[in-house]
Structure 1
Amino acid sequence: MKRISLTVRLAAWFALITVLVFSVGGSVLYRALAQQIRSQDDIGLVLTARHLRRLASELETAQAIRLHESRLDSLVLGDQAFFLRMKDAAGNVLLERNPSHFEINDLPVVKPSNRILEHDVQQWHTPSGLTIRGVATDIALGDGSVVSAVVGREMSDREAMLARYRYTVMLTTLAALIAAVALGYLAVRASLRPLRDIAGRAASVTVGKLDTRIPADHVPRELEALVDALNAMLARLELGFERLSQFTADLAHDLRTPLGNMRGASEVALARSRSADEYQALLVSNIEECERLSRMVENVLFLARADNPQYMTTATEFPVQEELERVADYFEGIADDAGIGIAVNADGKLYADVDLFRRAIGNLLANALRYTPRGDTVSISASGGAAGMTVTVANPGMPIPPEHLSRLFDRFYRVDGSRSNPSGSTGLGLAIVRTIMELHGGSASVESDATATRFHLHFPAR
């Protein structure tokens, strides 16, 4: 099913709003006009009835009404919609002016002593469907007798006028609907042109053009945030792609080195006959290279899994001193062979994934032992506060140049810039440390000066 475009939707909404506004406005105006017309007609009927009562009350007898018929019915002459009828107490018609022969109903009568008001006007319908409005009143004559009079008006002309007004309102609403659809569609289409331009620019971005950015100079203010977000996304994609390309190149080189070593050593060994000890030494060397490859593959797989948003950690609370001593004991043999001491000074408890915590500290400790001079000591400390806990691994040695500090946690990055790796490091240890800290919502940082190089792991409070 084809989805409706945003332009059509907005144009439809504009048309619907226009119809609602015109309908409500027309309805209000129609009701106001109808009320005004009825009020004016009722005032006319009331004034006519009052005038009739005043003229008739000047007469002495009911017979005088017939004598002054022309004077009384002049009140309704000239308008075919008006009618007048007067009766005596016995019900005899004394005067009737009803050229259209409207049916006159029995109405509530206003007493001679009461003032005729607008609310005394009544409404009824003839069998033919005509609407009639009128008022009935008693009139006291000079001799004390009472006659009744009815003054009314047929409303078909008013209803015809209101019908024409309704037709005009509906015709205007229909015209407004058509205009709103057409003009709204054009206006929305023109207003959404920047969006189409943004989509066109975004569609032009390819792997070879990740440096493309969407210009934000002439976009509407409402779209500035969208353009900024898209440009920021493109910048992240460009940086991620560059890192991935560099990571792939570094990984290929680091995998090629042990493979090349194993192949070269094997070819040399097969060039001529060797003793059993020499073949054994070759196998030992190849096993070491295989272990190096295994560590590299394991580290790469860990980073790949950790980059998955669904990667889960199992955090528990544990004594920091105890875990740090356990890691130090694991590296005690390597440290003794290198003539390096390991000092642990920590207190308190930490809420984190124990296995990942050990791996992060182990990577930092292995890195520290690699660059600490013989006879010195690597120190591991931990201090906590309201904001969380910071674990520091510090080792003396040559300071790291400041330009390298910001990139130490990048994958395969080495300070010496050489791709050779005689130390056996895979170049992923510090990258793993940063990933572990990100999984915990913390951060990893480093500082280096003439006294020592210190790596800090900041764990947030639980």
Structure 2
Amino acid sequence: MTGRSLSSRLVVSWVATLAIVFFTLPATVYLPLAALRIGDIAEVGLESWTTRRARSLVIDALRADASGTKRIELTHSLLVHMQRNPEFRFAVFEPKDGALLPGSSAELASNFDASAKVQSFGTMFHLADDPNPDARGYDRITETPIGRMRIIVYGAYFHWDDVLQQLYNHLKLINFVAFVPLCAAVAAVAWLVVRRCLAPLRSAAAEAAAVDVNSLDRRIAPRDLPTEVLPFVEAVNSAFDRVRDGVERHRRFTANAAHELRTPVAILKARVDRLNDKPLKHDIERDVRRIQTIVDQLLILARLGGGSDKKSDREIDLGRTVLAITADYMPIAIDNRRNIAFEPPPAPVAARIDGWAVESIVANLVENAVRAEPDGGTVVVRVLPEAVIEVADHGEGVAPDDRERIFEAFWRKNDASRGAGLGLAIVRELLDELHGSIEVRTTEGGGATFVVRLPSASARSRIDLGRMAAG
């Protein structure tokens, strides 16, 4: 499943919002301040917004002939602006010698010193003798198509389309260049802030991922989580409660059903034992054993879900325990025209594990191997050092694609396969709770070998077992 990162979406949204604010700053901040006459910008006034457009129109009207004579030409755009602003005046000086260009307003120029002693790179002003207190002008030396000139504009009125002109002029390359490092800094800060804020969510996700069928009592702790996320966490915890209740009902039903079945199965077995030794009796006994196995497996599944501890404070001799279980299955193997060979470890192997858990693991593996072993074949059971048990058959083996699926409950290769599909699932679940492992290998010459690794006891315990065996 693919999805967009919440962190990246928040960072992108943050940067996009910053870009909008940055490039609309004149309209969103300066314009309201100027209109409301708040702070230092109150002296600038709304009329200052038209000076940029007026200066651009005057620059576009500058001309120079072949002889180098410079003048101001009344272009159509400049005339339209003058008609909209009857009090509008402009003057253009040569910065070097203070020469006034033809077409300039002599009245406006008379208010300024044309000497080159002071160079103005941007000055807002108001003429003291102007009866309009809101009139504003701008004096600036700037580059033009005919060279560097000093341009003075004054007396234009504010119009709302000046806002669009101001925004357009704000979208300059220099502003984009200035925005790039600002954007990078904001993105980095935003990423760090978002990552820090989402850390509790990642912790909650890890807690949710740790919940499985064996730990349904665990819940996601609401600590440090944002209040906006708490309803979701509470809903997930409620879902875990419902799943736990459903699993508990299922386990109780399984246990009760298995217990109810044990009595009729025992009665049936007793009646079969009183039958005469006929082929039909052997068939019925085999069927009864299968029913008994299914009932026992259902009880084990219920016990697995009941929270009982499979570990034990008592250490067992793994070799002797496995030998006893293997011997119990020898009659079943002989009845099915198979043999079982047991290979003991070179020295006693200690394991700190409950005996019934080892019995369940080995019994299910041996029964599975006996079913897979061809007629006349021999199932090999080995106990190796470091608490390793191997059960090998010489049947069809297990395909690589099926080596994980065979441990799923009720999985069978096909409808013709015998068994309920519970034995290997019980083995895997037991080993998971014991922190052990199981893997499937190919038996030399064909077949499947199941390798079980159990938690071994300490080296000192193994020495004690060796002394006991020697004594």
TM-score (norm. length: structure 1): 0.38
Q: Which has the larger radius of gyration?
A: 1
